[in-house]
Structure 1
Amino acid sequence: MSDNAQPTPQPWVVRIPEIFAGIAPEILRRFGAETGTRLGMDFYLIKTTTPQLIQHSDAAKFARWNLPMDHTWPCNPQKMDGFIEKAAQTLLKKFGERKPQGIFIGTLNPASPDKYYKGLASNLRGRVLQLFPKLPANTVEEQDATAETLFCLVGKEGLFCGMQSPRASNGLYPGGSKFIDQDSPDTISRAGAKIAEALHYLLLHRSPMPEGAHWLELGACPGGMTSELLARKQRVTAIDRAPLDKRLDGRPGLKFVLADVAVFQPKAGTTYDALLCDMNGPPEESIEQVTRLSRFSKKGGLIVFTLKVPRIENVEEPCSLFRFIVGIAAAAGLRLFAQTHLTYNRHEFTLFFEAV
């Protein structure tokens, strides 16, 4: 390419959650999108000469998942004879020699009650796996976060495929969503699904927390996150001015302190493996308590912080708040290593820090 040649726009799919749909055009502009077509509920097919901005710009936090488009097939699979076989053979031809670590296929409308495309995605993956040699990663949890996976999305708009590592894609599943059943009678609140998804997301960046790890949870009431952590055989010291749900009474591994987080002081010599904060209220006040108590974290300890954004009407205001909060954390010795908008987040982002 000559010095004066212009870079070729690259096709990319980005997932911008529905809650950010009103500012999606601004987000896409920040990714350098020259064109954009909406797919399904949350996905956008764009062309950009600056794909690095999708993963590394301030606006990256608004994109739950992203994937370069190595193969797109606009069509209506439901009206096409032999779609699965044609698609499977094409995937083998295009991606077989690239040796993906795994192949995972999802839908463009994962929340749709129509089961047709979920079945189609499952059947297509089954046929593709018959054609490819045995792959190292048969389940999403078996993936190496840094090795390339073949991800595909299918819907009434067609088939959209690309290869990228789960870490670069910002998710282990095609589309980035892990479904978590909240219909169990033991479910205390939707916050349990939030921490479950956050812990799954962490597999992109570090090993899972070992059994018996000790968490300090700030603002724990009613106990949705507490319950999820205990179910994973973690120990929890939960702090709140209001009592926890009665179903948590007597649970092994739980210590509950009925107190305002602002006045709570651990005993001398106490250390925690992880600190969790999902408190409502101004994030400036929440991060103050996190940084105050983070000195009781072990070196390398995990801090999971939900950044509550008062309103999201544009890109810059939440980005400015984000930079401010991260700056306070950094001054207290907390290194931000990941950030995302989880499926179960609303006007908020989940930030992951490490105590250095």
Structure 2
Amino acid sequence: MSTEETPKESPWLIRISKHFADFTDDVIAGLEAKKVKSLGEEYTLIQCRNPSRLQGSDASHFVRWNLPMSHVWPCNPQKMEGFIEKAAQTLHRKFSGQGLQGVFVGILDPSARDGYYKALATNLRGRTLQIFDEEAKGFKSVEEQDASKSSLFCMVGKEGLYCGVQSPKGSNGFYPGGTKFISQKADHTISRAGAKIAEALHYLPLHRPVPPEGGHWLELGACPGGMSSELLERGYEVTAIDRAPLDQRLDKHRGLHFIKADVAEFEPSARASFDALLCDMNGETPIALGQVIRLSKSLKPGGLVVFTLKTAGVDSYAGINQHFENALNQAVKGWLKLIAATHLTYNRNEFTLFFERREGHQPEKGRGSGPGGFW
């Protein structure tokens, strides 16, 4: 390859969850990139030669969010007089007239307790929108964005300002940094699992529409009912299966059908038809995924599967990737099509996988749990 044909390295910002921080160097190597420096708690600035690896490599599912760097201003905003005005004017000068659908500003360290940078991000976005003036009247809110159209995302912190233009789908999230804060009120939150499915449903429109309100979900291993509660609050009907009882706050909840049974013993009626299937069960992945495949026979064609891939006990980068690959192979043999896989903010050492049931196939009945989904 000649010098002219050598791919140019581009600055890129990536986010890797603190749960996988020990694998940061492995992830960067898997992206065929070079580390420049760490930013905040979970962000790393890299030089990326092949951006396609952010979407299709063994390392990509570890990258929670990413953004090409179009403007970088290393500085300490707290010590910079007139930072907001200077930054807003620069953003307008560099990015106006590019057909953006919105401008969004997030913080590099969401765990910061003093609130300074959260307020700074809000004020910077507000001033930037003022300067964009007429152009800003056509901007969308975070939730209104088209997943495939370009937005200007900016991240600010004690390390400075880091900005880039990319679609939400390309960045792997609608919000700057990828995090949507999920309110969990102590008086009615049954478990943190409710936040996981809430965030999953916010993430899903990057790839396909969410099931319509009134749709019917089948949840495997539902106890204590955090995910069921979240689905019910969104107007869904839920059939929940577990050997243990659900939280009493869900008693007599309209739309809930609770079946106290072992998932492996449960057999839907021949007439059962679900829009989506949810599984956040602990235990061995081949067993849990085997039950998902078995019960996917009751999904409507193209029905959605949301599956939490646990990695407990797998303590190496290579081991997690092999675990991930084994699960995908099992799902494919069980006629499930992967549409997305990511680490969500409310996940711990686990990934959320989204599948669709492939049309024209009915998994065989049976209670087996062998990998591959056939019994």
Q: Please confirm whether the aligned pair reaches a TM-score higher than 0.5, indicating the same fold.
A: yes
> 1:286 and 2:292 equivalent?
no
2:257 alignment partner AA: K
Scaled by the length of structure 1, the TM-score of the pair is: 0.97
> 1:126 and 2:126 equivalent?
yes
Partner of 2:46: 46
Deviates more, 1:209-218 or 1:314-323: 314-323
Which whole-Å CA distance do the structure 1 matches of 2:356 and 2:179 have between them?
24
Scaled by the length of structure 2, the TM-score of the pair is: 0.93
Contact 2:105 2:125 in 1 (8 A): yes
2:237 alignment partner AA: R
Pick one of 229, 232, 253 that aligns with 1:227: 229
What is the CA RMSD across the aligned residues, in angstroms? Answer: 1.3
1:288 alignment partner AA: G
Write out aligned runs for 1:87-106 (5 A).
87-106=87-106
Aligned-residue offset at 1:135: 4.9
2:18 alignment partner AA: E
3-state SS in 2 of match to 1:37: strand
Deviates more, 1:30-39 or 1:273-282: 30-39
Aligned-residue offset at 1:134: 2.5
Q: 1:296 to 1:153 in 2, by over 3 A?
A: same
Write out aligned runs for 1:59-70 (5 A).
59-70=59-70
Aligned-residue offset at 1:3: 5.8
Partner of 1:242: 244
Aligned residues: 356
Which whole-Å CA distance do the structure 2 matches of 1:128 and 1:336 have between them?
39
Q: 1:300 to 1:122 in 2, by over 3 A?
A: same
Listed as ranges, the gaps of 5+ residues in structure 2 are: 359-375
Listed as ranges, the gaps of 5+ residues in structure 1 are: none
Contact 2:243 2:261 in 1 (8 A): yes
Partner of 1:185: 187
Aligned-residue offset at 1:230: 0.2
3-state SS in 1 of match to 2:181: coil
> 1:298 and 2:292 equivalent?
no
1:227 alignment partner AA: S
Which whole-Å CA distance do the structure 2 matches of 1:5 and 1:206 have between them?
37
Aligned-residue offset at 1:137: 4.1
Partner of 2:24: 24
Pick one of 306, 309, 312 that aligns with 1:310: 312
Contact 1:105 1:151 in 2 (8 A): yes
3-state SS in 2 of match to 1:19: helix
1:353 alignment partner AA: F
Q: 1:314 to 1:136 in 2, by over 3 A?
A: farther
Deviations 1:193-228 (A, max 9, x none): 000000000121112321110000000000000000
Partner of 1:322: 324
Moved over 4 A (4+): 1-5
Partner of 1:117: 117
Deviates more, 1:81-90 or 1:32-41: 32-41
Which whole-Å CA distance do the structure 2 matches of 1:237 and 1:352 have between them?
19
3-state SS in 1 of match to 2:353: strand
Partner of 1:82: 82
Q: 1:109 to 1:3 in 2, by over 3 A?
A: closer
3-state SS in 2 of match to 1:146: coil
Aligned-residue offset at 1:7: 2.3
Percent sequence identity is: 57
Partner of 2:361: none
